[in-house]
Amino acid sequence: MIGTLLTLALTKRTADRTVSVEAQKLLLEINKALLAEPQLFSIYKPDDELHPLIAKHGGKLVAFGCLMINLFEIVFAQMPRGREHTTWQGYFEDSLDRCPLICDLFELREADKIYHENLMAAYRAWKQRAAAPAPPVA
């Protein structure tokens, strides 16, 4: 009986993870479509706060930034802690250090609604560290 319940719980968890990963893959396909055809951003309301970023950076760069964020989201939502995760954490932080557009996308009002809580926590931790004064050089 306990073995059956454990098997059912593990099966459900695996199925849930599979659905989540497949949904993320579909989201990456949407990002690819936006990258290929930036005018698809016009699906958003004219007053959406995404449009000033598109005007500033261009649709392809905004689409590429969205694609990168969604790739990081898969990692932060699904990958277990360990060496691989640490490597991705470094890549994420390096991208934030060098790509202000990605930071701008994280600052959009809807970011907390549309991005995984682990990803948003990683962004906030980076932002806090980035805002801290640099230690004095000896």
Q: What is the model's pTM?
A: 0.79
Place of tokens 């250090």: 97
pLDDT, tens digit, 9 for 90 and up, residues 73-128 = 988 888 778 888 899 999 999 999 999 999 999 999 999 999 999 999 999 999 99
Over the chain, what is the mean pLDDT? Answer: 87
Residue 136 resides in a domain = no
Find out whether 66 and 106 touch, Cβ atoms under 8 Å: no
Residue 47 resides in a domain = yes
- Please give the tally of structural domains in the chain: 1
Residue 41 resides in a domain = yes
Residue 93: helix, strand or coil by DSSP? helix
Residue 119 resides in a domain = yes
pLDDT, tens digit, 9 for 90 and up, residues 30-76 = 989 999 999 999 999 999 999 999 999 999 999 999 999 999 998 88
Residue 138 resides in a domain = no
Residue 30 resides in a domain = yes
**Structural domain range at position 27:** 2-130
List all residues 6 or more positions away from 103 whose beta carbon is below 8 Å from its beta carbon. Answer: 96, 127
d(CA 119, CA 68): 12
